A and B are shown apart, each in its own frame.
Chain A
C-alpha cells in the first residue's frame, strides 16, 4: 500500500493550520468550483460516484441534485458531526488533523446547491474538537474563504458550528434537524424528505463530515481518478476505525474494499497474544456480527459486506478475541440502544428494554431456551416498525448474534424441567424395554 496516497488524512505536520493547508493545495478546489456552474459541480460529484460516509452509503451527488433549484425559502446544509456510533471515531480525526478540507468541501457543497448557511452539528462531548474546528472556521472567515463574496465570486455563505448535548439519536438526520431547531432530538417521519422540508421547514441537505471532506479531493484529482480508487461501486478512501482486541487500534485511511483480514493483521498489528478472533463487528455497533472464521476474504465495502449479510456502516471495526464473553458484549450494546432510544416509538422504547432484560437473564444464568426465541421475536418486531433506523440498529446485532452464536445462549441457558431429557418413570421402564 506504499504507493497509495491518502486523500483526507495525509501525513503532513500541522496541516490543521490554514497556511500549511494552503501550501498543500488548500482551497484550490474551491477556486476551481467557483469558476464552474453549480450544476457542473454536482455533476462532477455524481460522476465520481462518491457515496455518503455516515453509514447509509447514499450517492452524494444524487442527494445534492434533489435540492430545488428555485426556492422562495432559504436552503441549508447541515454537516453531521454527531458521530456517536460505538466503534466510530473518524470525524474527530478530520477536526483535529484536516479541518480545512472539511470546511472547503462544505463551501463547495453550499455553492453547488445555492446554500447561504452551513450548520455544523458536532456532538457535545467533542469540546476540544469543536474549539479546533471553530479556530479553523474563524481563520477561513478571515481569509475570505467563508462569508461575503467568497474569493470575489459573488457567492456568499456562512458557517455556524453548533454544539450538541449528548444524544446518540441526533446523528440521525431528521433528529439532528429537530435538535438544531432547539427541540428534543426526535426523528421525523419521512416523507417529506429534507430536500423538500428540512430544518425550519426549508430545503436541507445533511451530509456526513467525512463525505464533505472528500469533495475537494474529487475536484482536485478529477472524478475519473477518484472513481478508480478502491471498490468501483463505492470509490475513494475510508477512514477505517479499528478498536477492541488489536495491537494497534486507531484510524487508518485506506481505499474502500480492503480486506478485513489485512486491516486487522497488517494495519492494526493483529490480535494481542496471537489469539484467535471470535467475532468482528465490521461497521460500528449497529451492524451485523461476523464470526471469526467468516472474515477470511471479506472486503470492506458496501457491496462486499452485503454479500456476507452485514454492512459497512461507518467502517468502525470492533474485534473480539477468543476469550471474550461475547454475550456480555451484546448485552452492553443492547443497553446502549435502550439508553439512547428517544422514546417516540413503542417498539423501540419498550422492545430495547425487553431485549436487555432477556439478555441480562442469560448473564445471570436464568435464561431459558425459550428466551432465545422470545429475544428474536422482540427484535423482529422492532425492525422496520419505527420512525428511524435506531430500532433497526438495536435489532440487527441481536438477530445476527442469534443466527451465528446460538450456542452461546444454549451453553448458558437454564435447563427447565420440560427441556430435560425425558426419563420415563420406573413403572414404565419395564414396559418400554
Chain B
C-alpha cells in the first residue's frame, strides 16, 4: 500500500529508533501525505507494517489533531482563533473564510476543493491573524489578502 519510496524510508527509520512502535507517527505522516487522510484500512496497514495491534494505531490517530480521519479537500484551510489571533481579528477572519467559501467550520466545499477548520495556536502570534493552508502559513492576514489567496488556489 505504501509507495516504494515510503517503504524505503520506513526501513531507514527503523535504524534510528530502538522500537518499531516509535515509527507510528512517522508512518502515519507518510500515509497522510500519500493518501490525504487516514482511513481504517490505512490504520490496519500501518499496524501490520509495524507489527502493532490495530487498536493502538487507532488510538494514536484519534489522539493527534493533525491526522485526518475523514477525507479533506485539496486545500485544508485552518484558521487560528486562539488568544493572540483573536485579539487581532482571528474570529472575524474565520467567519470571512467560511462565508467566502460558503461552508461552516469543519465542512468541505461541494467540489471537495476546500476544507475549513478552526485550529488552536500555531505559534504565529506575532504575525496574527493567520491561517494555515496544508503545510504553509499565511500571516498578517486581512480579508482582502484572504480573498486574493483563495482565488489563487486552483
Contacts and interface: CB of A to CB of B under 8 A. Distances in A.
A158 to B, nearest CB: 7
B83 A244 contact: yes
Interface residues of A, number: 55
Contacts of B60: 182-184
B46 to A, nearest CB: 11
Interface stretch (A81-89, A358-366, A425-433): A81-89
B83 A167 contact: no
Counting chain B CB atoms within 10 Å of each CB, which of A74, A124, A245 scores highest?
A124
A336 B82 CA distance: 8
A200 B20 CA distance: 12
A182 B23 contact: yes
A92 interface: yes
B132 interface: yes
Contact of B63 (A86, A126, A184, A328): A184
Contacts of A316: 125
B65 A166 contact: yes
B105 interface: no
A244 B88 contact: yes
A250 B65 CA distance: 27
Interface string A158-176: 1010111111100000000
A329 B66 contact: no
A288 interface: no
Contact of A127 (B23, B28, B135): B135
B35 interface: no
A289 to B, nearest CB: 11
A242 interface: yes
Nearest to A85: B121
A349 B128 CA distance: 29
Interface string A105-140: 000000000000000000111111000000000000
B67 interface: yes
B7 interface: no
A182 B66 contact: no
B26 interface: yes
Contacts of A183: 21, 56, 60
A179 interface: yes
Interface in A29-82: 74
Contacts of A74: 18
A180 interface: yes
Contact of B120 (A162, A249, A318, A339): A339
Interface string B1-37: 0000000000000001111011111101100000000
Interface string A315-335: 010101000100011001100
A167 B63 contact: yes
A393 interface: no
A408 interface: no
B99 interface: no
A370 to B, nearest CB: 28
A165 B67 contact: yes
A249 B128 contact: yes
A394 to B, nearest CB: 14
Contacts of A332: 81-83, 86
B112 interface: no
Interface in A194-212: 200
Contacts of B82: 86, 285, 332, 336
Contact of A249 (B19, B56, B125): B125
A241 interface: yes
B136 interface: yes
B118 to A, nearest CB: 10
Contacts of B127: 249-250
A245 B123 CA distance: 17
A160 B67 CA distance: 22
A342 B63 CA distance: 8
B150 interface: no
Interface of A: 74, 83-89, 91-92, 123-128, 158, 160, 162-168, 179-185, 200, 241-245, 249-251, 281, 285, 316, 318, 320, 324, 328-329, 332-333, 336, 339-340, 342
The 8 residue pairs across chains A and B that have the minimum distance between CB atoms: A166-B66, A165-B64, A243-B125, A166-B65, A182-B21, A182-B24, A243-B84, A127-B135
Interface of B: 16-19, 21-26, 28-29, 52, 56, 59-60, 63-67, 81-84, 86-88, 120-128, 132, 135-137
Given A86-B82, A86-B120, A128-B136, 9 more contacts: A87-B84, A87-B121, A165-B29, A166-B64, A182-B22, A182-B52, A200-B18, A250-B127, A329-B87
27 contacts: A83-B123, A88-B123, A124-B64, A125-B66, A125-B122, A125-B123, A127-B135, A128-B135, A158-B16, A163-B25, A165-B66, A166-B67, A167-B63, A182-B24, A182-B52, A242-B126, A244-B84, A249-B84, A249-B126, A285-B82, A318-B84, A318-B125, A329-B83, A329-B86, A329-B87, A332-B82, A336-B120
